[in-house]
Amino acid sequence: MPETIIAGNWKMNTTLDEAQALVRAMKPGLEEIKGLRKVVCPPFVSLSAVSSLLKGSTIEVGAQNMHSEKSGAFTGEVSSAMLSGLCKYVILGHSERRHIFGEADDLVGRKVRAAMSAGLSPILCVGEQLAEREQGRAEAVVERQLRAGLDGITTPRGLIVAYEPVWAIGTGKAATPQDAQQMMSHIRRVLATLQGQAVAANTSLLYGGSVNADNVAAFVREPDVNGALVGGASLKADVFVQLARNAATART
Ligand code: PGA
């Protein structure tokens, strides 16, 4: 059975002080929630401080991106080797990386391979844009992103897939739980073809895009939705704790 995961993607928000204050504020509430994995993904510069604050707790830490090479002349970049002592997860191929920073499918694939070989658990993001959905190409786009993202991988250790339709991110217009479920079962079919039935059945699939404390339960009640990748609603401690609590209740 895939584990249920609620992950907060703080994006380019919070200074070091704010990140520490946010994690201190959410820690007691999150600690009480059982039965799911709780992950926070602060900006790079706060990873070390947030990891220290969460040492020994049940709350885990992730990064939001990384470079595909281990080291070298890549000014401004951060490698898997730098992250592996600091956090367990790394978000890769987020639609903002793909569409604002021009990350192509094959680059995302190289990053996924680098993360896995460094022992990091990649949260591979896939999702179609509005025009692609309107043209009936949503499943084809997601399949293409998955194939490229998992290219060359034989043992997808720690893989998590997040389906985030681009039109639902930060817009307040979430997909319906039924649409999310339909895409998740497509993703499981594609995973079965690429990586075999066992991987498909055991990989956690997260929905992302305008998830909040009120709608999270309906998503995680769908059989193939194993949690959520949360942007805006992960930036307020009480909201994120309530969201995680509602997800945990819905799964039991
Ligand atoms: P949102 O962002 O929850 O603010 O829509 C989700 C994401 O981009 O991961």
H helix intervals, the chain: 16-31, 44-54, 80-84, 95-99, 105-117, 130-134, 138-149, 177-195, 197-202, 216-220, 237-251
Instruction: Name beta bridge partners: 52.
Output: none
The β-bridge relationship of strands 89-92 and 160-163 is: unpaired
Q: Mention every residue, 6+ apart, whose C-beta is less than 8 A from residue 108.
A: 92, 93, 97, 98, 124, 145, 148, 149
- Which amino acid appears at position 243 of this protein? L
Cα(115)–Cα(79) distance, integer angstroms: 9
Return mean pLDDT, the chain.
97
Confidence label for 118 from pLDDT (cuts 50, 70 and 90): very high
* Tokens 């993607």 found at: 9
Task: Indicate whether 142 pLDDT > 90.
Answer: yes
Cα(168)–Cα(82) distance, integer angstroms: 32
Q: Which of 60, 164, 186, 222 is catalytic?
A: 164
The superfamily CATH assigns to domain 5-251 is: Aldolase class I (3.20.20.70)
Task: Indicate whether 33 pLDDT > 90.
Answer: yes
Give tens-digit pLDDT for 54-68. 999 999 999 999 999
Give tens-digit pLDDT for 121-130. 999 999 999 9
How big is the chain, counted in residues?
A: 252
pLDDT of residue 251: 87
* Tokens 């939001």 found at: 64
User: pTM for this structure?
Assistant: 0.98
Q: What is the Å distance from ligand 1's center to 209 Cα?
A: 5
Give tens-digit pLDDT for 237-246. 999 999 999 9
Q: Is 89 helix (H, G, I), strand (E, B) or coil?
A: strand
Buried/exposed code over 161-182 (b: 16+ C-beta within 10 A; e: otherwise): bbbbbbbbbeeeebbebebbbb
| C-beta of 170 in contact with ligand 1 (< 6 A) | yes
- What tokens does 136 get? 């009936």
| C-beta of 232 in contact with ligand 1 (< 6 A) | yes
Q: Which of 94, 96, 132, 222 is catalytic?
A: 94
| C-beta of 39 in contact with ligand 1 (< 6 A) | no
Task: Indicate whether 184 pLDDT > 90.
Answer: yes
Confidence label for 40 from pLDDT (cuts 50, 70 and 90): very high
- What tokens does 97 get? 């990386």
Among 125, 216, 230, 235, name the best residue to mutate to test ligand 1's pocket (greatest count of ligand atoms within 8 A of Cβ).
230
Instruction: Name beta bridge partners: 124.
Output: 92, 161
- Which amino acid appears at position 177 of this protein? P
Are the C-beta atoms of 217 and 246 separated by less than 8 Å?
A: yes
pLDDT of residue 252: 79
- What tokens does 164 get? 């985030």
* Tokens 């994995």 found at: 37
pLDDT of residue 164: 98
